[in-house]
A and B are shown apart, each in its own frame.
Chain A
């Protein structure tokens, strides 16, 4: 006889456990604030960075605290085009989250379905899919994303394709691993012996049970998609210059960094770091709660 401690399954248990870790809670609060700021950016931001008519060249490259032509204080200063940095960052966060979540969701769906199906079908199909995935994972994600983005050109849609292409393999790998374990469990055999169709078994039995590790990967991959997007934009193959993406803002201020106008690059950079760290810290906590093996 062993003492079996029933896994915390109900959502209230989950949040109670989550609440006992102060770092995770702080990260979650920060993440929530960032999301609220990003979602309500048009209401909060003093300036619309897409509205070119509101830009005044005389206001360009002003230090934080400068009161501009429009009469309000640029609390984080302005960039080389005279955009209010605080507004640009808010809109930048909006773009980052949008890109990260969209790319993450698409890669998640493709990966979960392909991985679970491969584990269920087995044989040559499984071998083919998994070797392709292995092949892709042997290249750095940034390189793949860079090549695809460069081939497709600038634009939101193109960037999402590039991000999904560089990330779906992680989801396939994880889904396959989890599903291969579930595939051999009695309840799958029980469903097959009824007999239930393969599609039913994959979507109703295997997939839901393979979700926990996928959710963990998803949090990490959303954060990495955000940083990938920033990197690509910084390198000039991501979004067009009209979009106030964080990577774009950083790259725009890069040349002024050594001439004392630090704020143009630093503040968007700080915003990016806060966003990614908050997601990762929340993700870490979720991972340790969903994976009983990591519990002491």
Chain B
């Protein structure tokens, strides 16, 4: 047997922090054969990205590779000087990152960027570089590459941009491509296309790939062999089918248990040791829903006017400038949510689902139509609209952004209830403590600031803040999208439990269909501002009527 293309043994990458040494990568060994795709799975902070960066020698201070070896074709890479590493980077080992908007230079055309990348390693004329660039774009299935090569990054959609990034990585025919969460920022249907194309590209070009992701399902669908990382160590490695069917390490098992797609709807998910206690929360049955139009959306339309300055308006009037079209984000939506029901709202990014959620919650005023809660309007009409009710509250996607960094979480939770007379300043402490307990957090946390908490804890705080207003309806805008899968399971369990205890009505917005199926009684599918299909969860997932819904369902990566 010949030596593998890439062999990593006992690699350790440590970061020196003031508080001590952080062992981001702590003695991992792996190998990569020619033409193989290796999946590297782990939750955030597991060291999978740092492993990728270590392989191409892009570890910045205070981090450094402490020990171990990385052999590429028998050549030792650890300890090489920066100029030598630069020769390898891009030519032998290339990298594709998560967010192509961040890695592509917005002021250079695709051609310019590719020419720069080519001329970094080869002496090549501009004309030849253009040919190579066009050919590279054609390879990643970009239509009309001769013209697209002169485009700027912002002229491509998210999926196309990621294709361009892959094309740049492939320019030098590298032996290895390291892809760090390359489809995480993309919609599920675009992700499905890229997965298929990457697979065939790898086979066609005979390159090897390390596919880093937090998502077991995507990794399983693209790679034959996977390695599971936890706290800087590889805990399990093997064929994807075997690891997923019969995981040998408890951590892998817990990752699998936390996936909503692998358990019955409404059932508690396995969420690891930190899970809250409590019996399994059964889903409230439809018959218990007394008021079928508790939340009623009637002909909702939301148009966003483009902001124009004085000169732009003058230019439009005089016909010198093209007028900007207003954006129609939500188009004629009629929808009802029964009391105690959980309605899932699914759709791809840009479909208008977040805008609809914000209208329901009284953050945006609808351009046309009415939104009522228990037969009374959520927002007043007129040029200075005010939210009239505290009965609908919101949980936001990013718990890092939705809490004020300069207020203690106690202040954040208490400010609404104090302002609306649900508690007094004197009793605020015990009121806050009560709600922190309700979301399984220590009441003593009330005096801390948001940055002292993890993402999952912050989302619990955000839930406590919403609940402290004692609402009947909660709008959840992608509440678990930015969380790791085991944390996601904990938050979903918490939502299930709270819903049962408090009889909450939920509008649950998500792009993740398996999460929606797990939590919701009814599902509405949104596409380009319109609701194209509504039905019970079973109807939508088992017998979708619309072609778009079927396409959306088919695009979900499945485990084995």
Spell out A's residues near B (CB within 8 Å): 1-3, 6-7, 9, 185-187, 189-197, 200, 204-205, 208-209
Residues of chain A with a CB closer than 8 A to B407's CB: 204-205, 208
A-B contact pairs, 28 of them (CB 8 A): A1-B44, A1-B45, A1-B180, A1-B214, A9-B449, A9-B451, A185-B401, A187-B404, A189-B358, A189-B396, A190-B403, A190-B462, A190-B465, A191-B404, A191-B415, A192-B363, A193-B358, A193-B363, A193-B387, A193-B394, A194-B390, A194-B415, A195-B390, A196-B416, A197-B419, A204-B407, A204-B415, A209-B406
Chain A minimum-CB-distance residue to B419 = A196
Contact: B416 with A194, CB < 8 Å? yes
- Give chain B nearest CB distance to A208 CB in angstroms: 4
B469 at the interface (CB under 8 A from A): yes
- Give chain A nearest CB distance to B185 CB in angstroms: 13
Residues of chain B with a CB closer than 8 A to A192's CB: 363, 387
Distance of A203 Cα from B403 Cα, bound (Å) = 16
Contact: B415 with A1, CB < 8 Å? no
Chain B minimum-CB-distance residue to A7 = B451
Chain A minimum-CB-distance residue to B22 = A3
Residues of chain B with a CB closer than 8 A to A208's CB: 404, 406-407
Contact: B398 with A186, CB < 8 Å? yes
Distance of A192 Cα from B396 Cα, bound (Å) = 13
B386 at the interface (CB under 8 A from A): yes
Contact: A193 with B404, CB < 8 Å? no
Pick the residue among A189, A194, A209 that contacts B469 (CB under 8 A): A194
Spell out B's residues near A (CB within 8 Å): 15, 44-45, 48-50, 180-181, 214, 358, 361-363, 386-387, 390, 393-394, 396-398, 401-407, 415-416, 419-420, 449, 451, 462, 465, 469
Pick the residue among A9, A190, A195, A196 that contacts B396 (CB under 8 A): A190
Pick the residue among A186, A193, A204 that contacts B401 (CB under 8 A): A186
- Kindly list 8 other residue pairs between chains A and B, CB separation below 8 angstroms, not including A186-B398, A190-B394, A190-B396: A1-B180, A1-B214, A186-B396, A189-B363, A193-B393, A196-B415, A208-B406, A209-B404
Distance of A47 Cα from B390 Cα, bound (Å) = 67
Contact: B362 with A205, CB < 8 Å? no
- Give chain A nearest CB distance to B219 CB in angstroms: 14
Pick the residue among B214, B386, B403 that contacts A195 (CB under 8 A): B386
Which 7 pairs between the two chains have the least Cβ-Cβ distance? A186-B402, A194-B416, A186-B401, A195-B387, A1-B49, A187-B404, A208-B406
Distance of A196 Cα from B214 Cα, bound (Å) = 37
Contact: B419 with A194, CB < 8 Å? yes
Contact: B401 with A187, CB < 8 Å? yes
Distance of A200 Cα from B403 Cα, bound (Å) = 15
Known: A1-B49, A9-B451, A195-B390. A190 touches B402 (CB 8 A): yes
- Give chain A nearest CB distance to B63 CB in angstroms: 8
Residue among A1, A195, A197, A204 having the largest count of chain B Cβ atoms under 10 Å: A1
Residues of chain A with a CB closer than 8 A to B462's CB: 190
Residues of chain B with a CB closer than 8 A to A204's CB: 407, 415
- Give chain B nearest CB distance to A293 CB in angstroms: 15
Distance of A196 Cα from B362 Cα, bound (Å) = 12
- Give chain B nearest CB distance to A288 CB in angstroms: 18
Distance of A70 Cα from B65 Cα, bound (Å) = 73
Residues of chain A with a CB closer than 8 A to B181's CB: 1
